[in-house]
Every structure is written in structure tokens, then in C-alpha cells.
Structure 1
Amino acid sequence: MTKGKVLVVGSNATRIEVQGGWGNTGQYLNETVVPAMAILAAGYEIVLATPQGTKPHIDPASDSSQHFGGDEVAYAAAKAFWAEHPAMNAVRSLRSVIEEGLESYAGIFVPGGQAPVVDLMQDADLGTILRHAHGQAKPTALLCHGPIAITAAMDQAPAFRASLIVGDKAKARDLAKGWPYAGYRMTVFSASEEKVVEDHILHAKMHFDMPSALEAAGGEVITNSTDFAPHVVEDRELITGQNPASDHQIAARFVAALNRHLATA
């Protein structure tokens, strides 16, 4: 017996629009595996689901021991978990999860890497899942670029994203009216952290940064002034982490929230 099921929502994106073309992207290894292992260790079952029902692509930029504090043993364990653990390989589609029923899920976790900026933030099925979790006050945790995925809960998420890409923030704000997370305190990968990725990994500029996007949606965005230092913000059922270094902190806060929710269910 487990305490309950947790939905881990992955992305299927491998490329992201940048100014002047496309860049490679994916999901971050540590941001996925560290919380997933903590959720399992706390006695919960994991269901990994993506829009297409296929396993996410790991961004090569994250495939390094540096994201595990230089601990080669932890890095090797994470790679083995991602490659071999049944929970990481029995991937479902978001649609199939909805059709089976969302009531049995105790909470939702969305890891980062830039991939969620491509598909998850405008995915209609994820929007259905998020609105369910919000309505039931189920713990919902998102890490790094992952928090941008909560814009999927808008009625017109694809149009909102398109407005951000062309720089029409006024239209984006109008499209965001009625967003369930308006007024929530949250964090996300900062603009200054994004510039490091743009300069050293993408070698191109993004069309928009994450804090301004969530602010246009109606969120109260709080980022740490120290780049790449752990930072987690919790407001009601929503738990957000700013960057890859926040992986252990958000895992602990999410598990605690799951346990609290279970105790009051």
C-alpha cells in the first residue's frame, strides 16, 4: 500500500523558439529525479505523464554531476533511476490520466528545464489537470521553468503564449483574465539566470522571460536576488522553486504538503 498517487508531468519538447530560430531544450535531470525519489521515499506512488505519452528528453546541459553538488555517486544514482526505475518508464499521456480519473491523485509535480515553455504552458489537458488540483487544493509543485506551466490553466493559454512571443503584454494580460492562480505568490527561473543560459547554452535570446510572463498572467513573482541559490515560495496549494539548486528544498516542501493534505482528507 502507498499513501497515494502523485502525478509527475513531463514535457515532450526537444526544441524551443528563440529570437532568430530554434535552440535545443529538454527536461533537467536533477529537477526530475531528486523530487521523484523523495516522493517515492515518502511512501507515495508516481505516475509520469506527458502530452504525447512518451518519455521526456533530458537536456544534455543538465546531464552533469555539477547539478548534484559534484557528487558523482548521487549523479550516477540519478541516471540509473531515470533509465531503469519502472515509474520513469511506464509513461502515460495526460489525456489518459484524465480519462482514468483525477480524484485518485494526491498532488502534481512539474520539473523544469526550458521544455515546459514550449508545450506544457499551453497544453489543454494539463489545464484540465491544474484546474482540478486547484479546485481540490491539492499540492501542486513546479520547479525552475516548470512554474510557467500553470499558465495552461487559462482558458486561452495558446493565445497568451503567442502574445508573449510577439511582445504584446497588454494582450497577454487581457487573455489571462480569470486565471485561477492570479494573486498567488510564486517564484520561477529569474531573468538574470535566464541570461546565463542564453549566453552560454542557447547562444540566443528567448522571446520572453519567465517572471514577466507570470506577472502578465497575474502572479506575484518573487525571485531571489542571488542567482542560482535555492529559493522556494509556498502559497496555499502552490509550491514553486526558482532554479535547479532548489530541487531538494522543493521536494521536502512538497512531501510535507502532501502529508498535510492526506491528514485532512
Structure 2
Amino acid sequence: MWKTKTTILSLIISAAIMAEPSSSAGSDAFVYGGCSQLKFSIESAYGSNLTSLLSSLAGSAGLSRYANFTAHGVCGLCQCRGDLDAGTCSACVSRAVERIGAICPDACGGVVQLEGCLVRYDNVSFVGVEEKTLVLKKCGEPIGPDDREALTRRDNAMSYVGSTGGPYRRVGVTAGEAQAMAQCVGDLSPSDCQDCVEEAVARLVSDCPLSTWADVYLSKCYVRYYSSGGVPSHSEKKQEHKGDQKTIGIIIGIVILIILLVVFLSFTGKQCRKLQGKPKSKGSSCDHHCDLHD
């Protein structure tokens, strides 16, 4: 259990560091990314297997919006937003593969979420596993306290995406409407997908109760909302919240250093000796082995 928890923890920590939006436009805009703390040797078999896996993911995106592969102990998946065509999906996943290679060059696990697609890999099996850990949350400018119509539109949109079945849900696609979308990673069962979306909706409503727009990303699903005024682009969000992001970044950095120190001193020595003896997850073809640096 420790290995899985450590991987998830480190991915979340790295996601917090790298969540500042870029100025890129469209489906390639960066949302978040993260890497596991466990590292592998570049010359190892794990490294070549990972390269093969990422190549397979990039090659599959033009054929399907979701795919998962296993390459001798490395599990990975890619997924595109439900409204993207094949060409845009393929380009997005190729870009995400490039980004994950740059962000996590020797990490045993990594994830990159762009506006239009997701790429994730690990040596610990995660495909088909329900995960509702909060990865990223953003709240926009406040709605006027007396704007009951805006709140009603928001609640109606959230009710729709929270109750409508399917892995990809969208409401309010015409101009002037409140808009919302939700999507689950394609490896989830319908019931797990519904649980994940309901959790994300509940977090958005409770944590961003009066926001004109909001994004909530959990490990295996996300929910996004924006009012009829339109959602700011990533570059606009960056400009509008630049000062807040600097302050938050400093706080996050301090907290992360403390967490990493505690995790390293408390668990690394004892738990690493247990990794080789950890049993495989049921139904998984990943061997949970990563050729570590000395």
C-alpha cells in the first residue's frame, strides 16, 4: 500500500507546483503535471519499456479517444476530451507525451493533463482503479451576492453533469448559456465514473460556491463550470491571478518541503525494502518493478 500512496502523494505535490497555466491556446494548454518520487536509471529496461509505452499511446490517439497499454511492467493510458476530433486528439496526446517526457525524464510514474487530453503512466497498476483524490482546484471571480439567476444557472448545470450518465457530459454549448462539462477517465466502470463525478461536483459547489467559473480535477475525473460571461483563457487567468499565484506558490513550496522531508525520513528506508515483496494487484499485468538509481 505504501508504494501506491507515495506515488499518488508525489504526483499531487508535483501537480501543485506545476499547475500554473501557460499562455498556450486550445487543447494543448497546460493544466497540471506531476511525477513520482521513485526514479529509474535511464539505461535500464524500464526506461526503454516506458519509451515504447509512450510511443504506443501517441500512436493510438488518432484511432480512439481512450487507450491503455502495458509494456513489461509499465502501465499507461491516454484520453482526449469527448468533443475532440481524431486529428486534434492525436496532436494533443503527442504534445502531452512530449511534456511528460520533459517534466518526468526519469520518474517511475508521471501524469500530464492538458486542456484537451490526459497522459499517465506508472509501474504501479492504476488502470480500472477508482481514485477520487483532489489534484487541482481553481475558483474564479465571485458572482454578485444578489445574482440569484447566475446561482440558479450554476446549480442547474451542476445538476445536469452530476446526474447525466456517460463518461463525457456537457451542457450549455450555445453562446450566452452557463456551461459545464465533466469527464471520467475511460478505465472507470459506469458506477465508479458516477461516484467520481458526484464527488467532483460536490467539491466544486462547496469550495467555489460563488464563483463565475471553477475547475475541479480529481485523479480519475474532472468537472468544469463557467457562467454565461465566458470562461477566461489560461493566459487571462494567469494575468488576473498573477499576484495570488505568487503568494500561493510560496506557501505551497514551504508546505511541500516539509512534507517531502517528513515522508523521506519516516518511510523511505523501511518501506523501500518492502517494494519487491508487494503482491500484484488483481487483474494487473504490471510487475511493480522500477529499476531504481543506486
Please report the TM-score for the alignment, with normalisation by the length of structure 2.
0.28
Larger Rg: 2
TM-score, normalization by structure 1: 0.30
Kindly indicate which of the two structures has a greater share of residues assigned to helix: 1
